[in-house]
Amino acid sequence: MHHFRYRNGILHAEDVDVREIAAAVGTPFYCYATATIERHYRVFAEAFTELDPLICYSIKANSNQAVIATLARLGAGMDVVSEGELRRALAAGVAPDKIIFSGVGKTRAEMAAALDAGILSFNVESEPELHALAEVAAGRNRRARVSLRINPDVDPHTHEKISTGRAEDKFGIPYDEAPRLYGIAAGLEGLEVWGVHMHIGSQISELAPFERAFGLMRALIVALRAEGHDIRHADLGGGLGVPYRKDEPDPPHPSDYARIVEQALGDLDLQLALEPGRLITGNAGILVTRVLYNKPVDGKHFLIVDAAMNDLMRPTLYDAHHEIWPIAEEANAGPMRPTDVVGPVCETGDYLARGRLLPALPEGALLAVMTAGAYGAVQSGTYNSRPLVPEVLVRGGKFAVVRPRPSHEDLIALDRLPPWLSSRG
Ligand code: LLP
Q: Which conformational region is residue 26 in: left (phi greater than 0), alpha (psi within -120 to 50 degrees), or beta?
A: left
CATH T-level assignment (fold) for domain 4-31+285-412: Lyase, Ornithine Decarboxylase; Chain A, domain 1 (2.40.37)
Closest residue by CA, ligand 1 atom 24: 375
Q: Which of 5, 72, 62, 65 is nearest to 30 (CA)?
A: 62
Residues recognised as catalytic: 346
Which amino acid, residue 156? P
At 263 the three-state DSSP class reads: helix
Hey, how many other C-beta atoms are within 10 angstroms of the C-beta on 209? Answer: 21
* Domain range summary for the chain, segments of one domain joined by +: 4-31+285-412, 34-281
Distance between CA atoms of residues 72 and 41, nearest Å: 11
Pocket of ligand 1 contains residue 238 by CB under 6 Å: yes
**DSSP 8-class letter at 330:** G
Q: How, if at all, do strands 285-297 and 29-33 pair?
A: antiparallel
Q: Ligand 1 mean position to 161 CA, how many Å?
A: 11
Residue 283 Cα to ligand 1 midpoint, Å, equals 15
Task: Give the Cα separation of 70 and 93 in Å (integer).
Answer: 10
- Any idea which architecture 34-281 has in CATH? Alpha-Beta Barrel (3.20)
327 lines ligand 1 (CB under 6 A): no
Task: Tell how far the Cα of 38 is from the centroid of ligand 1, in angstroms.
Answer: 19
Mean pLDDT, consecutive 10-residue segments, the chain of 425 residues? 96 98 98 98 97 97 98 98 98 98 97 98 97 98 97 89 89 95 96 97 95 97 98 97 92 96 97 98 98 94 98 97 97 94 98 97 98 98 98 98 98 96 75
- The pLDDT assigned to 10 comes to 98
Asked if 72 contacts 92 with a C-beta cutoff of 8 angstroms, the reply is yes
Compute the distance between CA of residue 49 and CA of residue 98 in angstroms, rounded to an integer: 18
* Per-residue confidence (pLDDT) for residue 1, from 0 to 100: 87
Q: Phi, psi at residue 70, to the nearest 5°?
A: -60, -45
- Distance between CA atoms of residues 81 and 37, nearest Å: 21
